[in-house]
Amino acid sequence: MTTPTFDPTSDGQLADPYPTYTSMRDRCPVLHERNRNVLVVTRHEDVLRVLHDPATYSSESAVKAAAGPEADEVKQVLAEGWSLTPNLTESDGAEHTRLRVAVNRVFTPRRVAAWEPFIRQTAEDLIGRFAADGETDIIGSFAWPFPLHVVAGILGIPPGDVPLLRQWSHSWLRLSVGGGEVAERVECARDTIAMQNYVMAMLRDPGTAGEGLVASLAADRGPDGLDDVELMRVVMNLIIAGHVTVTRSIGNGLVSLLEHPSQLAALRDGSVPAEAMVEEILRFESPVQGLFRTVTRPTELAGRPLRPGDRLMVHFGSANRDDRALANPDTFDIGPRAGRNMLAFGHGIHSCLGAGLARLQLRVAIPLLFDRLPGLRLGPPDGRRRERLVIARGYDELRLCWEVP
Ligand code: HEM
């Protein structure tokens, strides 16, 4: 029996990675992927085991997909700014707790709920810009700008700076995930430094941040008193993690609903709550497919011995399709089981800080798109292009059409 090949950026797996994940779970649940020198953990039970044992599985370099040292040219540019880590995602133990406690104090469920009118208005305004056109690339016209305007508004960043945030975030991610040409990484490093300086300027002069979350964080630094650099990393985490994930969920969710008309009908006639739809779109095509952990002490997982320094990829996208945790996981079903054992937001101490905000945005935006764009349907097949990424699943382009009176 041959070992399955994990290659989510190949054409075949980009189109449909799920048969490969099924065979990995069945035959090789901790699979060594040689190119990236990483062990891919695909079963729901094993993913949970790793996430709940942060002492054995460190979050240092949790977003770094490419192995190997950084080029000197890139290091030189980065030396002009502040270290990118430890940030929330890539920290452990007491360091992580310090950061998380400080941000939890200002990012409360009550505050998130109060943002709903602003979120709805942001979605309405953006849809108003293209509703009369009858067709659009929904990724460019809505799925990118919507969560970025939301996160910018929440933080107190002026809407005019949103295009900068998009470019900087893209660069930070490219740099943190690793890989690519050195010249491109140098540019990404420059953008990252520009983003650091921008956020630092807001923190040092909180008046510029209006009444947003940046001003709140600067005023209430938590019981341990985070310094400006720590806060700057927290704010960058919020900006980056807070939009690319929602962008991908919107694209993935629209395609899942349009390809399953009976499920869309159930959402439209109100027989299923929008909350259940959100859980199922996140489970079915998880926007964050996987992130990384580093083994700190000898252990074993699914019968495989692990040594300190081994790198694991915890595969949320596969765990969410594991029939050991959920019956018929390859069926898109927004019915009562939606949300059961769902791991798209991770689990344990690093579980998504913005899950409530993400759910709210998706619950508002997706039904609104169907309300405002009558007869919404998929455009031509060549108007759909997937992002070629190992850690994420989404679209670069997604053309949709609808009726215009
Ligand atoms: C559908 C959208 C989203 C998805 C699928 C998602 C997914 C995730 C996942 C899987 C993790 C866990 C990382 C790990 O275990 O290493 C995470 C962490 C995180 N997310 Fe989200 N996220 C989303 C939206 C957001 C939003 C809107 C924000 C904030 C505005 C946000 C902020 C964060 C932060 C700060 C962390 C790090 C938490 C920690 O390490 O303590 N996310 N997210």
At 173-230, the pLDDT tens digits run: 888 887 889 999 999 999 999 999 999 998 888 677 667 899 888 888 877 889 999 9
Distances (CA, A) of 54 to 58, 61, 284, 296, 351: 6, 13, 26, 9, 12
How confident is the model at residue 209, as a pLDDT?
A: 63
Burial 132-142 (b: 16+ CB within 10 A, else e): eeebbbbbebb
Ligand 1 within 6 A of CB of 88: yes
391 lines ligand 1 (CB under 6 A): no
Q: What is the pLDDT of residues 46-76, one digit of tens each?
A: 999 999 999 999 999 898 887 678 899 999 9
For residue 303, give both structure tokens.
Answer: 């019968």
Q: Nearest-5° angle of CA 92, CA 113, CA 120?
A: 115
Q: How confident is the model over 273-297, as pLDDT tens digits?
A: 999 999 999 999 999 999 999 999 9
Tens of pLDDT, residues 392-403? 999 999 999 999
pLDDT at 204: 86
The amino acid present at 31, given as its one-letter code, is L
**pLDDT at residue 1 in the model:** 66
Closest atom, ligand 1, to C-alpha of 348: 15
The mean pLDDT of 23-41, rounded to a whole number, is: 95
Q: Which residues pair with 271 in a beta bridge?
A: none
Q: Give residue 241 CA to ligand 1 midpoint distance, Å.
A: 6
Tokens of 88: 């929330």
Domains, the chain, ranges and CATH? 11-401 (1.10.630.10)
Helix, strand, coil share of the chain (percent; to 5): 50, 10, 35
- Mean pLDDT of the 383-388 span: 94
Residue 135 pLDDT > 80: yes
Distance CA 398, CA 264 (A): 18
Give percent of the chain above pLDDT 90. 83
Q: Helices (DSSP H) in 294-372: which residue ranges?
A: 316-319, 355-372
Using the predicted structure, report yes or no on whether residue 85 has a pLDDT greater than 70. Answer: yes
DSSP-derived letter for residue 34 is T
Q: Are 319 and 43 in contact (CB under 8 A)?
A: yes
Alpha carbon distance 177, 94 (integer Å) = 24
CB of residue 17 inside a 6 A radius of ligand 1: no
For the chain, percent of residues with pLDDT exceeding 70? 99
d(CA 302, CA 30): 7
Cα of 354 vs centre of ligand 1, distance in Å, is 6
Which pLDDT belongs to residue 225? 86
Helices (H), 107-227: 109-114, 116-130, 138, 145-155, 162-177, 182-204, 213-219
Condensed to tens digits (0 to 9), the pLDDT of residues 143-172 reads: 999 999 999 999 999 999 999 999 999 898
pLDDT for 221 equals 83
Phi and psi of 304, rounded to 5°? Answer: -100, 125
Q: Which amino acid is at 157?
A: I
Residue 359 has pLDDT above 80, yes or no: yes
Mean pLDDT (whole number) for 330-334: 97
CA distances 320 to 21, 147, 261, 263, 391, Å, are 10, 24, 22, 19, 15
Q: Which residues contact 205 (CB under 8 A, 6 or more apart)?
A: none
Ligand 1 pocket, 58 CB below 6 A? no
Q: What is the mean pLDDT of residues 366-390?
A: 96
* 147 touches 119 (CB < 8 A): no
Neighbours of 208 (CB within 10 A): 15
